């Protein structure tokens, strides 16, 4: 249920004014300690400059490398990394179009194809999905983590349940709440989120016990680096999963994997394959996910230096 809810929400949130992605790591001191269900990014002033570089994620070490679009720099001077790691990062960055590689006097050198813009991200909103508030699991702890760290500009809880005052009292006041119907795509704003302070230091909750909470203090610079990584990951990844390679598989008009045998959206990683009694191996359905994403969001499939795109703030989520 939660997977189908998540995909329906992603589809409903898409617009030419934003980029939507899902399942992104949001831990800093403990990188795997927090996975955000959905991330919504709105463009900043330099969004078009970033979109013109590449449709793919740019690896963070390449962004931080001592290299620009001017004179080529020896690979060993550009990266403060072990040689093998520097080679791998440079190869990846060249493959996605951010770096150019060549050899001079027998030495490998690199040059950026464009200057990386610092202000291409407008805002980042984290959405935690909990369709059934009757089975909240670790919801309260997850939202306390997000509120204390302040990595995102806004944090929102999305649910299909009727939201009571008791529910609201169990989560931080800064967290917004949406009631979302995955069948119709209707979304009601139960409570607006309060803007957090992503440009200030934060507190990362490492462990919560009855009489003790272990935390790590996180600097504003560390948060800024993590936000850039999240933005790059969101821009390059999107939210649509690969459809299953089954004769019964197709996709909805917005690109969600759908099973005609069971007449519902499916999770290819869990519902499909040899474990399914109706599985019939076949080529996956021919769905152009890049074309859908290019048409429906601010992401640019084929960078060509296009003109300014429309921008929006959180109010556009209504």
Q: What is the pLDDT of residues 58-107, one digit of tens each?
A: 999 999 999 999 889 999 999 999 999 999 999 999 999 999 999 988 89
Sheet holding 154-159, edge to edge: 19-25, 35-43, 121-129, 154-159, 176-180, 187-191
CATH number of 59-112: 1.10.10
Q: What is the pLDDT of residues 219-278, one digit of tens each?
A: 999 999 999 999 999 999 999 999 999 999 999 999 999 999 999 999 998 999 888 999
Q: What is the pLDDT of residues 20-61, one digit of tens each?
A: 999 999 999 888 889 999 999 999 999 999 999 999 999 999
Q: Give span(s): CATH 1.10.10, the chain.
A: 59-112
Instruction: Tell me which H or E stretch contains 47.
Output: helix 47-51
Q: What is the pLDDT of residues 124-167, one digit of tens each?
A: 999 999 999 988 888 999 999 999 999 999 999 999 999 999 99
Q: What average pLDDT is seen over the chain?
A: 92
| For residue 311, pLDDT beyond 80 | no
List CB contacts of 26: < 8 A, sequence separation 6 or more: 34, 35, 36, 126, 146, 149, 151, 152, 226, 230
């Amino acid at each position: 249920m939660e997977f189908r809810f998540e995909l329906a929400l992603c589809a409903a949130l898409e617009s030419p004014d934003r980029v939507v992605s899902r399942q992104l790591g949001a831990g800093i001191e403990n990188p795997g300690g927090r996975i955000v269900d959905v991330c919504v990014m709105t463009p900043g002033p330099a969004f078009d400059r970033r979109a013109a570089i590449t449709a793919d994620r740019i690896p963070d070490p390449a962004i931080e490398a001592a290299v620009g679009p001017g004179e080529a720099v020896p690979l060993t001077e550009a990266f403060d990394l072990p040689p093998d790691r520097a080679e791998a990062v440079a190869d990846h960055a060249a493959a996605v179009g951010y770096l150019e590689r060549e050899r001079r006097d027998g030495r490998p050198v690199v040059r950026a194809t464009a200057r990386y813009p610092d202000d291409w991200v407008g805002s980042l909103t984290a959405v935690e999905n909990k369709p059934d508030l009757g089975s909240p699991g670790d919801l309260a702890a997850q939202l306390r983590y997000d509120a204390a760290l302040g990595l995102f500009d806004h944090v929102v809880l999305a649910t299909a349940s009727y939201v009571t005052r008791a529910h609201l009292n169990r989560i931080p006041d800064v967290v917004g709440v949406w009631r979302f119907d995955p069948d119709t795509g209707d979304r009601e704003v139960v409570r607006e989120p309060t803007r957090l302070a992503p440009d200030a230091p934060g507190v990362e909750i490492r462990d919560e016990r009855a009489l003790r909470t272990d935390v790590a203090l996180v600097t504003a610079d560390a948060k800024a680096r993590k936000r850039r990584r999240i933005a790059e990951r969101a821009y390059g990844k999107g939210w649509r999963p690969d459809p299953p390679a089954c004769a019964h598989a197709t996709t909805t008009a917005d690109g969600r994997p759908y099973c005609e045998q069971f007449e519902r959206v499916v999770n290819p990683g869990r519902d499909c394959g040899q474990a399914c009694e109706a599985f019939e191996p076949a080529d996956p359905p021919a769905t152009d996910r890049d074309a859908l994403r290019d048409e429906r969001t601010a992401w640019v499939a084929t960078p060509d230096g296009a003109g300014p795109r429309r921008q929006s703030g959180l109010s556009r989520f209504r």
